[in-house]
Amino acid sequence: MNSFDIIGPVMVGPSSSHTAGAVKIGNISQKLLGTSVRKADIFFHGSFLATGKGHGTDRALVAGLLGFPVDDSRIPDSFRYAEEADMDFHLSGIDLGDVHPNSVKLLLSGDEGKKIEIVAASVGGGAIRVTEIDGLPANFSGDYPTLVVNNLDQPGHVTEITSMLSHKSINIATMQLYRSSKGGHAVIVLECDQEVPADAIRWLAHLEGILKVTYLGLAKTAKNS
């Protein structure tokens, strides 16, 4: 633990988990979509649903989807800015079952027909975890460049991806593998120490058996192929 974990982020309050964390969830979700958000169906769970309105969680989440940082003075007026940006959003509640109480489910649509479904949680001090993407499990913080590969559960995909990253001199910080069933749909989540080049993402997206490649880049706008 360091002093940032104790003090929390520089932010627009009142809560690091219900406000700053919600902004960060919105930021990362928009980057994972890879384009401006045109429509957002937002479903709050647990404590986010019960006390979120008082903490401004709804406005914070919308602000994050607009790309506002956690210390942006426009956060309390995010609904107005969303209307100006022609972003259609709907807020409601949901029971996501046995998940973190500060969880939210997002159904996002953007330009060029891009869509993504995300479940994420604000876990305290402004930190978050993305726990599901497009119906499959995930577990990453958004603090590293992150590559999410949806693929058919076939031999060879892990080797292809890790070999490509090695060729690009990219070190893997963490790697997680999930699948719906043997031979069904699978997802590979890799947190990296360096940014993944756009040409490498395009190469992955065109491999046989790869269904979708989503990239969370920290230095530039994410790509979603």
Which one-letter DSSP state was computed for residue 139?
Answer: E
Please compute the mean of the pLDDT values over residues 112-123 and round it to a whole number: 93
Task: Give the tokens for residue 83.
Answer: 């209307």
> What's the pLDDT score for residue 54?
72
Beta bridge pairs of residue 178: 187
Residues of the chain with CATH 3.30.70.260: 146-216
> What's the pLDDT score for residue 2?
47
Which CATH number fits the domain 146-216, given the four candidates 3.30.420.10, 2.40.50.1020, 3.30.70.260, 3.20.20.80?
3.30.70.260
31/18: higher pLDDT: 31
Q: Say if domain 3-133 classifies as CATH 1.10.1760.20.
A: no
Residues of the chain with CATH 3.30.1330.90: 3-133
For 103-123, give one letter per residue: b (16+ CB within 10 A) or e. bbbbebbbeeebebebbbbbe
Say what the pTM is. Answer: 0.82
Whether the pLDDT of residue 16 is over 90: the answer is: no
Give residue 164's region: left, alpha or beta (phi > 0; psi -120 to 50).
alpha
> What's the pLDDT score for residue 224?
52
Whether the pLDDT of residue 170 is over 50: the answer is: yes
pLDDT tens readout for residues 203-224: 999 999 999 999 999 875 444 5
CA pair distance 87, 93, nearest whole angstrom: 20
pLDDT tens readout for residues 35-53: 999 999 999 999 889 886 7
